[in-house]
C-alpha cells in the first residue's frame, strides 16, 4: 500500500511497556507503525520500576495473579505471549537478570537494558516513535469502499488524529488505532485519563477506578504511631476481603507501606479493615505460654523483643497492656496472654485512605473488558480500535505481573492491528 507522509497502518498512543511491545510486533509483520508519546522521553515507568532495576516479569504467571471484573479475560493473551517468551528476548539480548523472592525477575544492572531492548526491536522493525505529542482530537472517518478484497481487509477502518508535536500542529491518519496510554497512577511519569476519554468517546463502558498497589494512611491514633516507627520494616501476614499476603510491611510518616501492604491494597475498599499478623511464623499463644513457664520473671516486652523490635513492642505495650507494663510474665493469667496473642496475630487496622494515584503503582479498574476481544484487544463494536496494558480493567499483583500483562496484551494487539 502506498502511504503519504501522514498516513500509517497503525498509530499507537503511548510509548510505555505495552505500546512498545505492540509497536515492535506490528512492525515485524510489515505494518507501518507510528508511536506517539506525550512525555519528553519514552518508557519512564519502565526506567523507575523496581528501584531502577525493572521487575520485568515473574517465573510463575497465572490468571489468579490478576484482578478484573472478568477474571478469565487475561488468559488468552497470557497464553499467547508468556513470561518465557519475554525471558527469551531478554536472554537473546544478553541482559543479566536475577530471580528474587516470590520468583520475581529483575535486571542485574539497570532498567535501561529493558527499555533499550524494546527500542532496538522497534528500530530494527522500522517502527517510528515521536515524543512531545499532545493529542487534541481523535475522529473515526467514514469507511472507504473498495472492490478489491485485500484492500477491504486493510482499509476496514480509518482514524484521524489531530495533535501537536511540540508547537507544530499535525493531522495523521491510520487504519488501526491502539490506545496504550496507561492510567491514572503516578501522573509525574505520564499517568493520565486520556485512554478513558477515548473509551467514552466511542461509547465503551468503564469499570470503577481507584489507586492500586499503594500505601495506606491513617487519621486516628495510628498516624502518630506510624510516624514514631517510620523506617521500621518487618515480615507480616496481612489480609483483607478474603485475600492475604505474607511479605514485608514498612511504617512510614504517613502510615504503612511495603510489599505486603501494596499487595493487599488491591483488595481494599474505603471503609474496609485490614488484619495484620505481626508474627506469622509463630503460634503466638503457644509461644507466650511456653515463655511464661521458662521466663516467668521476665517482662512481657522483654520476651516480645526477642521477636519484634523494641520500638514496636513499646508502642504495642502502650496500646494493649499499659497497666501491666511492669508485671512479670508469671503475673499474667493464661487468659490475658491469650488475649494479647490474639491481638498480635489479628491487629485490626482501619486505614482512612490510600496515598492515591500520586504514589500508586497501578490503577485498579479501567476500560471494561466486556467490550474487548480477549484474543486481539480490539473493541468488538469499533473496528480498528484497540486497548492494551494498564488502561484496561486488568490489574496485576506486585511482582512483575503488570509488566507481563503489558507484554502479553501488546503482543496480542500487535498481531492483529
Mean predicted confidence (pLDDT) in 64-68: 97
Domain boundaries of the chain, sorted by first residue: 7-210+362-416, 215-355
Residues of the chain with pLDDT > 90, as a percent, come to: 91
b/e sequence 259-288, b meaning 16+ C-beta within 10 Å: bbbbbbbbbbeeeeebebbbbbeeebbebb
Look-up of cell digits 496504550? 180
2 pLDDT higher than 50:
no
Predicted local confidence at residue 142, as pLDDT: 83
Predicted local confidence at residue 144, as pLDDT: 62
Predicted local confidence at residue 293, as pLDDT: 94
At the topology level, CATH places domain 215-355 in: Elongation Factor Tu (Ef-tu); domain 3 (2.40.30)
At the topology level, CATH places domain 7-210+362-416 in: FAD/NAD(P)-binding domain (3.50.50)
- The pLDDT confidence band at residue 146, using thresholds 50, 70 and 90, is very low
Predicted local confidence at residue 187, as pLDDT: 74
pLDDT in tens, 238-275: 999 999 999 999 999 999 999 999 999 999 999 999 99
DSSP E strand boundaries for 254-365: 255-257, 274-277, 347-349, 353-354, 362-364
- Cβ(267)–Cβ(241) under 8 Å? yes
- The pLDDT confidence band at residue 301, using thresholds 50, 70 and 90, is very high
- The pLDDT confidence band at residue 192, using thresholds 50, 70 and 90, is confident
> Which cell numbers hold the place of 257?
507501606
Predicted local confidence at residue 231, as pLDDT: 97
Predicted local confidence at residue 156, as pLDDT: 67
The Cα-based distances of 177 to 81, 224, 239, 314, 316 in angstroms read 21, 50, 41, 58, 56
Mean predicted confidence (pLDDT) in 346-375: 96
Mean predicted confidence (pLDDT) in 23-28: 98
The shares of helix, strand and coil residues in the chain, as percent rounded to the nearest 5, are: 35, 25, 35
Per-residue three-class SS string for 149-215: HHHHHHCCCEEEEEEEECCEEEEEEEEEEEECCCCCCCHHHCCCCHHHHHHHHCCCCECCCEEECCC
165 pLDDT higher than 80:
yes
Predicted local confidence at residue 345, as pLDDT: 97
318 pLDDT higher than 70:
yes
147 pLDDT higher than 60:
no
68 pLDDT higher than 60:
yes
Average pLDDT of the chain is 94
Mean predicted confidence (pLDDT) in 180-195: 84
Predicted local confidence at residue 127, as pLDDT: 98
200 pLDDT higher than 70:
yes
Mean predicted confidence (pLDDT) in 380-402: 97
Predicted local confidence at residue 190, as pLDDT: 73
- DSSP state for residue 372 in the 8-state scheme: B
- The pLDDT confidence band at residue 3, using thresholds 50, 70 and 90, is low
The Cα-based distances of 399 to 90, 108, 262, 396 in angstroms read 17, 16, 11, 8
pTM for this model (two decimals): 0.93
> Which cell numbers hold the place of 368?
471494561
62 pLDDT higher than 90:
yes
Predicted local confidence at residue 291, as pLDDT: 94
* Phi, psi (degrees; rounded to nearest 5) at 58: -140, 145
154 pLDDT higher than 60:
no
Least confident of 152-156, 266-270, 352-356: 152-156
21 pLDDT higher than 90:
yes
The Cα-based distances of 350 to 21, 347, 403 in angstroms read 40, 10, 30
- The residue among 182, 116, 74 whose CA lies nearest residue 408 is 74
Predicted local confidence at residue 171, as pLDDT: 96
Mean predicted confidence (pLDDT) in 170-176: 96
Amino acid at each position: 500500500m502506498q502511504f503519504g507522509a501522514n498516513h500509517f497502518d497503525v498509530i499507537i498512543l503511548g510509548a510505555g511497556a505495552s505500546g512498545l511491545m505492540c509497536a515492535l510486533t506490528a512492525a515485524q509483520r510489515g505494518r507501518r507503525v507510528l508511536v506517539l508519546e506525550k512525555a519528553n522521553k519514552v518508557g519512564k515507568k519502565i526506567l523507575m520500576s523496581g528501584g531502577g532495576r525493572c521487575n520485568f516479569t515473574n517465573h510463575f504467571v497465572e490468571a489468579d495473579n490478576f484482578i478484573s471484573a472478568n477474571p478469565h479475560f487475561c488468559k488468552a493473551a497470557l497464553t499467547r505471549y508468556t513470561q518465557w517468551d519475554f525471558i527469551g528476548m531478554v536472554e537473546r539480548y544478553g541482559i543479566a537478570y536475577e530471580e528474587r523472592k516470590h520468583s520475581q525477575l529483575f535486571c542485574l544492572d539497570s532498567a535501561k537494558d529493558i527499555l533499550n531492548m524494546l527500542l532496538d526491536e522497534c528500530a530494527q522493525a522500522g517502527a517510528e516513535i515521536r515524543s512531545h505529542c499532545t493529542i487534541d482530537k481523535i475522529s473515526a472517518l467514514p469507511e472507504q469502499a473498495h472492490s478489491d478484497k485485500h484492500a477491504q481487509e486493510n482499509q476496514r477502518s480509518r482514524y484521524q488524529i489531530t495533535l501537536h508535536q511540540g508547537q507544530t500542529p499535525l493531522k495523521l491518519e491510520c487504519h488501526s488505532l491502539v490506545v496504550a496510554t496507561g492510567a491514572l497512577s503516578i501522573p509525574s511519569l505520564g499517568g493520565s485519563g486520556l485512554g478513558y476519554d477515548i473509551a467514552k468517546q466511542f461509547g465503551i463502558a468503564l469499570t470503577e477506578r481507584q489507586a492500586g498497589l499503594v500505601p495506606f494512611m491513617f487519621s486516628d491514633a495510628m498516624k502518630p504511631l506510624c510516624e514514631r516507627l517510620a523506617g521500621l520494616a518487618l515480615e507480616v501476614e496481612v489480609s483483607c476481603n478474603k485475600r492475604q499476603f505474607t511479605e514485608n510491611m514498612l511504617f512510614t510518616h504517613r502510615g504503612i507501606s511495603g510489599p505486603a501492604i501494596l499487595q493487599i491494597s488491591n483488595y481494599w475498599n474505603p471503609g474496609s479493615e485490614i488484619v495484620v499478623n505481626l508474627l506469622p511464623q509463630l503460634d503466638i499463644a503457644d509461644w507466650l505460654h511456653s515463655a511464661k513457664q521458662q521466663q516467668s520473671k521476665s517482662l512481657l516486652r522483654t520476651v516480645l523483643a526477642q521477636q519484634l523490635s523494641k520500638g514496636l513492642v513499646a508502642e504495642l505495650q502502650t496500646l494493649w497492656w499499659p497497666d501491666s507494663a511492669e508485671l512479670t510474665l508469671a503475673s499474667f493469667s493464661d487468659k490475658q496472654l491469650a488475649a494479647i496473642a490474639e491481638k498480635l496475630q489479628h491487629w485490626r487496622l482501619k486505614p482512612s485512605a490510600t496515598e492515591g494515584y500520586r504514589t500508586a503503582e497501578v490503577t485498579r479498574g479501567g476500560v471494561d473488558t466486556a467490550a474487548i476481544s480477549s484474543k486481539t484487544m480490539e473493541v468488538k463494536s469499533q473496528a480498528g480500535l484497540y486497548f492494551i496494558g494498564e488502561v484496561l480493567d486488568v490489574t496485576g499483583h506486585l511482582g512483575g505481573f503488570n509488566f507481563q500483562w503489558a507484554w502479553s496484551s501488546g503482543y496480542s494487539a500487535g498481531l492483529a492491528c
